[in-house]
A = this chain, B = another copy of it.
Amino acid sequence: MADSHSKISDQLEWIAADWGTSNLRLWAMDGAGQVLARCESDLGLNKIADGGFETVLRDLVAGWLPDHPGADGAAIAVIVCGMAGAKQGWREAPYASLPAQPATLAAGAVQPDLNGSGLIVYILPGLKQVDDPDVMRGEETQLVGFMAENPDFAGWVCLPGTHSKWAQIANGTIAGFRTYMSGEVFALLSQQSILRHSMQGADDAQAFEQAVKDVALPSGDLLHRLFTIRAGGLVGAINGQTGAAQLSGYVIGSEIADIVARLGKGDTIALIGDGKLAARYGQALRVHGFDSAIADVEGVTLGGLRLAYHGLVK
């Protein structure tokens, strides 16, 4: 431990942070923008009382910092994206407006006052869209990282999650975006509605795809389809082992049906996400005849934070 600590602190140049509602992710970064160490915590916004942000951050990165800062006393920069910049967060970083380019984000960063942590914190703004009201905090940084990796990309980027986002990218600019409450609605329905009794069963790709088809437009009858999960079991029409896959298919399928109605044939789609959820979105898109590529969340998050670091610090 002592060895690895001293190694990190020797090479540490800055710290990257994604501070969301329910999670905090930190990365120790070297001068070449490579990851020296990672830290994940559930100390998201929801769990932090007034004024606790600096203490939480200092405690989590203490092992990465030099024991005795050099004579130059240079503070370590921490670049933060996510809900830490919300009104109810650490310090409000007012939303940047559309259309947005990578430089927009760094320009809007705010610096909370600190009590001598040996750190200097920059909190990046989120993005707002006034016409068709929408907001994001954190995803804009992932989009910037994605655009840096894919400078010629033109099309739609989807970021599945609690509040899933679809952003339209063209000419290196975020032109607009659209949020769906799919993840939160799925969680509430699967855990707290009458449907919680029907959530047995493992993954069932076929039931998921059928649900995506059933909820497709022109019908769009999500609120009815949901109840068929319960009723199907009661009348013996389904075997009771596909409820979770059906619910997922109806909710994600409802989102996808709405977005594909806005796409042109052959539009390019990228998914930023890991694992099962991104795979489900890809599967639902294929039902509608759209291919999609998956980009790694950590990679694009760090890409966006790295650009902000260079814009703000060096």
Interface residues of A (CB under 8 A from B): 95, 128-130, 132-135, 163, 178-182, 184-185, 188-189, 192-194, 217-224, 226-228, 230-232, 234-238, 251, 254-255, 257-258, 261
Cα of A237 to Cα of B133 in the assembled complex, Å: 7
B contact residues around A129 at 8 Å (CB): 231, 235
B contact residues around A163 at 8 Å (CB): 194, 227
Pair B193/A227 contact, Cβ less than 8 Å: no
Pair B219/A218 contact, Cβ less than 8 Å: no
Cα of A95 to Cα of B234 in the assembled complex, Å: 9
Pair A224/B180 contact, Cβ less than 8 Å: yes
Shortest distance from the beta carbon of A208 to any chain B beta carbon, whole Å:
17
B contact residues around A189 at 8 Å (CB): 185, 188
B contact residues around A194 at 8 Å (CB): 163, 181, 184
Cα of A217 to Cα of B236 in the assembled complex, Å: 31
In addition to A133-B234, A134-B231, 9 A-B residue pairs with Cβ atoms within 8 Å of each other are A95-B234, A129-B235, A133-B237, A163-B227, A179-B224, A181-B226, A218-B261, A223-B251, A223-B258
Pair B181/A192 contact, Cβ less than 8 Å: no
Q: Which chain B residue lies CB-closest to A86?
A: B234
B contact residues around A128 at 8 Å (CB): 231, 234-235
B contact residues around A179 at 8 Å (CB): 224, 227, 231
B contact residues around A235 at 8 Å (CB): 95, 128-130, 133-135
